[in-house]
Amino acid sequence: MARHVSESPVRHRQSPRRRSPSRREESLQSRSSRSPSPRTKRLRRAQGEREVGRSREREDEKHNSRRREKSSSREVERERDGEKEIRNRDRERRRDGENEKTRDVRDREIGNQSRRSGRDETDERRAGTDDERHSRGRHERSSSLSDRSHTQEVSNARRGDEELISEEDSIARMRAAEEALAAKKKEEPSFELSGKLAEETNRYRGITLLFSEPPEARKPSQRWRLYIFKDGEPLNEPLYLHRQSCYLFGRERRVADVPTDHPSCSKQHAVIQYREVEKEKPDGMMGKEVRPYIMDLGSTNKTYINESAIEPQRYYELFEKDTIKFGNSSREYVLLHENSAE
């Protein structure tokens, strides 16, 4: 018999359909394919800088913690060294005290031994003297009595010397006490100005003057003048120097009577002071006269009289036709008076 084969319809597998990408996926793919925006770049840079800063802060904290640990260990070592030094000092002090105590004890023992030996010797001497007294006769007794009197005299002399020494010591102590009392007595109060008060009284227009007039300062009776020359030619009018007892030369115009503007001159360079001094008159008699003197106030470039430098803080008498120069200035000041011959 022929087999009946049923023909079943053949099912063909259908290939899966490819889905078309959605708009969202397309936008994501386009974003991923594109380069990052500047905003994202900035954000990434900021994040990187933050991470770098955090790492640096961590490193700094670690470094600081190590330093602190090292400093703490050093402090601990120093404290230990200090404690060791203190302990060593205490031990040395204790040893010194023990040594002193042992020395005192030894000295005491030696003193006691010497005293005992002295007592024993005295006892032996006394026993010997007793035996000798019994054995000797009257002559020996008389000699012993004379020896006793001699020893008494020696002891009395020693007592007298000791009393004199004690009296001298007491007198010396009394004198020392009197000297101490005399030294402790308060000094008489002085009402003169000193220190800052004296400086304040010697101030003019807020500037401390380097010069104070002496008690013999006087105004001149003769009219003195200073004629100014530069390179041999006269400048301006003469300076009249008879209206005050002193004239200050310098660059500080607030206090200078005669300003010298040359840079080599000091602020308070020199002073011309009129002083009342005793002079011999033509007739041989002594009389008082007001004469001009000049003093350099410690200037850096000095003051010159007739081309010779003068010492600072010292009076130099000025005479007619003397030439004065200040520092390295080329100006020359010639001193004349009203009766000077031209």
Buried b (16+ CB within 10 A) or exposed e, 267-283: bbbbbbbbbbeeeeeee
Count H helices, E strands: the chain? 4, 14
What's the CA gap between 85 and 97, in Å, rounded?
18
Residue 192: predicted pLDDT: 45
Residue 193: predicted pLDDT: 43
Closest CA relative to residue 269, chosen from 242, 292, 296: 296
Residue 294: predicted pLDDT: 95
What's the CA gap between 215 and 314, in Å, rounded?
16
Alpha carbon distances (Å) from 238 to 133, 228, 296: 120, 7, 22
Q: Is CATH 3.40.50.300 the right assignment for the domain spanning 216-337? A: no
What's the CA gap between 309 and 296, in Å, rounded?
10
For 268, list phi and psi in degrees, rounded to 5.
-125, 95
Q: Which residue has the tokens 């007595």?
A: 185
Residues with pLDDT less than 50, the chain = 1-12, 186-199
Considering just the CA atoms, what is the radius of gyration of the chain in Å? 57
Domain extents for the chain? 216-337
Kindly report the pTM of this predicted structure.
Answer: 0.43
What one-character DSSP code corresponds to residue 217? Answer: B
Residue 94: predicted pLDDT: 78
